[in-house]
Structure 1
């Protein structure tokens, strides 16, 4: 009897940028300390590059994530912008309308996730030709463990990076920058120094002092806005400030014994980060998973709003199963089309820890359906939704007073196998078919 191949989960599906972490946590580091060498490859304006190539629209300002309604109104958020658009001041994260105000003739395209994913997977195979241990950190960023080059000359290491760039360009006609360094953090930082297609080697203490130390601290992963404010208040502005006169105890005082120590080592290039291939088996999200979606137009159609929450539950539960976690507490919000009007926040619990759609959706509707119906009856158009998990369980321990129905679990498992093999668009639950119509940020979500 032939055995059916089990296809891996794809928890990054429909996410703009999938990262396993936004800093190098202790569980993502080697337990032993030794000299290592890392390579980081970062595509330049990946989404925009792909669309320029597919549609032969080089030389014009282009944004990905925007579109125009039939009446000409500009909608959407800029997921990425071509270099032509960036030169005009258009940056990632601004609204498409702001981009249009800066450049009225800007070309707008929606995110075509399937196209970008196909190329990203192709590039991953290329990386595996160059080294055995490769991490696809996001659709457009990759890490490679290159310890086998650590005793080679600078010229030999640069030649290796150049061959990689050429191989990727010959196969995809896309360009990206390379950074090589003795820590994972510094490899990521160094690849940003000579975009769109340069190579930066940080191999010595002098290289770090000249190239990395002058960078502002906010460039380091893990240093968000609030943490940055705390660090600035201590008199540190650059990576070099911390490296030269920083005190590990200061970071422990500010951010706790574990995270403070880790953040200090990250900033100073002492982290021993592992290069993790795709979703590592031992990776469990610390804060759970979440899903958010903004509709093209506001809606007062209760059934369609319920359908959008069914989609949210399906996405969240699929990702929980992909990571091998469950949750018993959930929260979220639904917002309104009326500018300035506060959204409605909510929390709900399931009978026990679970990642089965039926239980989560029923508990969600029990908690929020009256509020949705009240808003819609009063003509308050709902425009966006968010759903996320709390109280996650990372074990497979059985619940004492409640067990998932075996038939429901088996049905979900079968659906996951189809999604994993053929794509999530080929099978869905009936309650997800009612959705708010109109274009969205993602091309695949157009109705």
Structure 2
């Protein structure tokens, strides 16, 4: 979702309390960078980015680096050409999720109606708080996160999730913005079409080719006009442009899929290393299926090569499974190693339902699932690193991992 400059109406809205704006979107600012700066305070105020080495990509950039045009997912070489004095910090695996869990605990102390949508953002419904206004709660949240974790957070406050998310983007960095319900239409009108939730580059370009570049332009169209252009997505876009978004803050989700994907800051060129990562991802998917008493009918993979081209493939099973051995067998059969190497690999299981795994093949007598369940028990008792498939225990360190 692209960010537009704050409008005059947005600035006027800030600081006006409204009981009809109970949705908060809390978004951590340059989260990975801020976590790293906790250990490197001498770098604060300098152009800093988290990511790989020369052949890697930028994961997160400080606002000082963004002023030079550095953005996430940008190759490090390009980032350094834009910002010659850019300071690169390697990724600290695990550090971000640790801080994220503590931040979510802080948010949960303000309301039980909390929906975490990523490692660094969440929605809150504060309509049940009769003692504080939404802006008071937002201010207290920002103070609590800053005091407790030492990192900044921006908060958008609105009547709907969609507008609250846009408001938090306008509040960055380290700010707060309220859009009262009665100002929603005015606030949205002047935004570029790319600011609407779900409008990516392809949809934006398609609309701009038809002269539709702003939310105001969308409002000149009939709903059926957009649906003819974009299918059902056109109807959703029309609703959001008019401030219509009935989605509640959801504390629990019915999972439609389970997956794990990893981005590598150094391109993986060894097929054996790539397949080992896929095996590990298959085991993670299977474990989570068993934990939830679910089985999957479909296995998919996602591969991004060195040129940032992404390919997805999937296969529907004859019988549902929650066994890593079967998930990996199918995922591996879908995999074609890109000539330039792999920058991202992911395994996902879909079309989930309640149940136990069926016998996948005539040769499978159920022992694979029994072995994996035994592994689940050992890991829960002694930790995830204490046991695993023998093929995931390398005899020497693997480059790039």
Q: Secondary structure at the match of 1:147?
A: coil
Residues 54-96 of structure 1, C-alpha deviation per residue, up to 9 Å, x if partnerless?
22221221111123xxxxxx13111110112112221111111
Residues 180-199 of structure 1, C-alpha deviation per residue, up to 9 Å, x if partnerless?
11111000000111211211
1:158 aligns with 2:144: no
Q: Secondary structure at the match of 1:296?
A: strand
Conserved? CA contact 1:289–1:319, under 8 Å = no
TM-aligned CA deviation for residue 99 of structure 1: 1.6
CA distance in 2, matches of 1:400, 1:75: 44
Q: Secondary structure at the match of 1:160?
A: helix
State the partner residue of 2:55: 75
Conserved? CA contact 2:146–2:152, under 8 Å = yes
CA distance in 1, matches of 2:112, 2:314: 44
TM-aligned CA deviation for residue 168 of structure 1: 1.2
State the partner residue of 2:243: 269
1:100 aligns with 2:80: yes
CA distance in 1, matches of 2:265, 2:207: 38
In structure 2, the CA distance between the partners of 1:268 and 1:334, relative to structure 1 (3 Å rule), is closer
1:136 aligns with 2:116: yes
Conserved? CA contact 2:331–2:347, under 8 Å = no
Residues 99-153 of structure 1, C-alpha deviation per residue, up to 9 Å, x if partnerless?
222233322122223111111111111112211201111111111002236x999
Of residues 233, 248, 254, the one that matches 1:282 is 254
Conserved? CA contact 2:379–2:386, under 8 Å = yes
Q: Number of matched residues? A: 377
State the partner residue of 2:99: 119
CA distance in 2, matches of 1:240, 1:304: 50
Conserved? CA contact 2:23–2:123, under 8 Å = yes
TM-aligned CA deviation for residue 396 of structure 1: 3.1
Within 5 Å, which residues of 2 pair with 1:357-368?
357-364=324-331
State the partner residue of 1:396: 354
State the partner residue of 2:266: 296
CA distance in 2, matches of 1:421, 1:197: 41
TM-aligned CA deviation for residue 423 of structure 1: 6.4
Within 5 Å, which residues of 2 pair with 1:203-282?
203-205=180-182, 207-242=183-218, 244-257=219-232, 259-277=233-251, 280-282=252-254
CA distance in 2, matches of 1:318, 1:270: 39
State the partner residue of 1:38: 23
CA distance in 2, matches of 1:234, 1:299: 42
Residues 265-296 of structure 1, C-alpha deviation per residue, up to 9 Å, x if partnerless?
2332211112122xx342313xx746355473
Residues 298-348 of structure 1, C-alpha deviation per residue, up to 9 Å, x if partnerless?
545x6445423323433444465567451345456585x7x89x9999776
Conserved? CA contact 1:291–1:315, under 8 Å = no
In structure 2, the CA distance between the partners of 1:351 and 1:251, relative to structure 1 (3 Å rule), is same
Q: Secondary structure at the match of 1:193?
A: helix
What TM-score do you get using the length of structure 2 for normalisation?
0.79
Conserved? CA contact 2:300–2:314, under 8 Å = yes
Q: Secondary structure at the match of 1:41?
A: strand
In structure 2, the CA distance between the partners of 1:133 and 1:400, relative to structure 1 (3 Å rule), is closer
CA distance in 1, matches of 2:64, 2:280: 36
CA distance in 2, matches of 1:389, 1:328: 8
Q: Secondary structure at the match of 2:279?
A: helix
CA distance in 2, matches of 1:83, 1:421: 43
Residues 409-436 of structure 1, C-alpha deviation per residue, up to 9 Å, x if partnerless?
2433344466678765454322123498
Residues 219-263 of structure 1, C-alpha deviation per residue, up to 9 Å, x if partnerless?
222112222233334543222333x42322223223334x43333
In structure 2, the CA distance between the partners of 1:245 and 1:62, relative to structure 1 (3 Å rule), is same
State the partner residue of 1:52: 37
Q: Secondary structure at the match of 2:55?
A: strand
Of residues 321, 324, 344, the one that matches 1:354 is 321
What TM-score do you get using the length of structure 1 for normalisation?
0.72
Q: Secondary structure at the match of 1:124?
A: helix
Within 5 Å, which residues of 2 pair with 1:80-91?
80-91=60-71
51-60 or 348-357: bigger deviation: 348-357
Give the unaligned 5+ runs of structure 2.
Answer: 1-19
State the partner residue of 1:167: 144
TM-aligned CA deviation for residue 364 of structure 1: 4.9
State the partner residue of 2:170: 193
Of residues 395, 398, 401, the one that matches 1:437 is 398
In structure 2, the CA distance between the partners of 1:413 and 1:235, relative to structure 1 (3 Å rule), is farther
